[in-house]
Amino acid sequence: MKLIFRLIICILFFWINHADCQSKMVSIKGGTYIPLYGRDSLQVTIDDFYMDVYPVTNQEYIKFVKENLKWKRSSVKRLFADGNYLMDWKSDTELGTAQSENAPITTISWFAANDYCKCQGKRLPTIDEWEYVAMANKDMADARQLETYNEYILGWYEKPKTFNNKIGSTFKNYWKIYDLHGLVWEWTSDFSSVLVSGESRKDVDNDSNLFCGSAAIGATDLMNYAAFMRYAIRGSLKAKYTMRNLGFRCVKDERINIGK
C-alpha cells in the first residue's frame, strides 16, 4: 500500500513537474575544454547535463509571475531586482505593446532568473557550462577558431534591439540549442566570479586564474575578443541588476533526471 502511495506521489510529482516545464531541453554530452580566457593548463571538465533549447520567453515568464506573486513588478523587493525590473510591461501581468510573447524575457534580475529555474526543478547554467555549449556553431562542437563563428557574434554587437526578436530566430547549433549568440545576453549562476575590476587595463597584472586579463587585453585574435565582451558584461553586473539585453535559460543535471 505504502509502496503504491509512494509511486502515485512520484508519478504525480513527475507529471506536475513535466507539465510545468514545457520548454524543451536537449542533452549535452560533457567534455573537457579550455575556456576562452584560460591558459593551456586551465582545462575545465563539464559533466553531462540538459539545457533549455530556447531562452525563457515573455509568455513563460508571465505564467511564472502569475504563480509567484512575489515576482510581480509591483511587489518585488528592491533588494532582489532593481528599478528597471520588467520596465517595459504594461502592468504586472501584461506585456508592453511593442513586446512579443515569443521574445526572450529580459529586464529580470539574477534572483528572479534563479528562482524561475528552481521552480521548474532546474537551475541556471554555470559560466563554464554556458560557454561550453556556446562554443558550437551549426555543425561543430567547438567552432571558436572559425572566423565566421566569431564574426557572427561580433555582428550581433552591432545590431540594435535584438531583444525584440523571437526565440529561435538565430541558428540551431551542434547541440540543437538556439539563440546562445545573436539574441540576448544570458545570466549564469556564477556570473559574479568574473574578476573584471572595472579598470580592465589594470587586470593585466591581475594574475587571477579565472580571468586572465592579459591574454584578453593583449588579444590580437578575434576569438578572445568576441568572448571578452561576454566576460565584460558579466563583470559589470550585480545580482539585482536588470537589463533590456539580458535574459536567461535553465539547465538540469543529468543524474537528477535519471533519478526520476
Query: Binding to other proteins (CB under 8 A): which residues in 179-198?
Result: 185, 196-198
104, β-bridge pairs: 57
**242 makes contact with other proteins (CB under 8 A):** yes
Return the residue of 157, 205, 258, 259 that touches other proteins, per CB under 8 A. 157
Closest separation in Å from C-beta 153 to other proteins:
11
Q: What's the one-letter identity of residue 56?
A: V
Cell numbers 528597471 correspond to: 84
**223 makes contact with other proteins (CB under 8 A):** no
Taking Cα atoms as reference points, which of 112, 109, 75 lies closest to residue 92?
75
**245 makes contact with other proteins (CB under 8 A):** yes
User: Stretches 14-22, 60-68, 116-124, 243-251: which one binds other proteins (CB under 8 A)?
Assistant: 243-251
Query: Binding to other proteins (CB under 8 A): which residues in 28-87?
Result: 82, 84, 87
Question: Whose Cβ is closer to other proteins: residue 49's or residue 149's?
Answer: 149
DSSP-derived pairing of the beta strands 25-28 and 49-52: antiparallel
* CB-based contacts of 160, cutoff 8 Å, min separation 6: none
Taking Cα atoms as reference points, which of 23, 64, 37, 195 lies closest to residue 131?
37
Query: Binding to other proteins (CB under 8 A): which residues in 124-153?
Result: none
Q: Which set of grid coordinates corresponds to residue 248?
A: 536567461
Closest separation in Å from C-beta 159 to other proteins:
8
Question: Whose Cβ is closer to other proteins: residue 2's or residue 201's?
Answer: 201
Tell me the number of residues near other proteins by CB under 8 A: 40
**219 makes contact with other proteins (CB under 8 A):** yes
CA 180 to chain centre: 8
Closest separation in Å from C-beta 142 to other proteins:
21
What is the sign of the dihedral through the CA atoms of 68, 70, 72 and 76? negative
Q: Which set of grid coordinates corresponds to residue 23?
A: 520548454
Query: Binding to other proteins (CB under 8 A): which residues in 81-100?
Result: 82, 84, 87
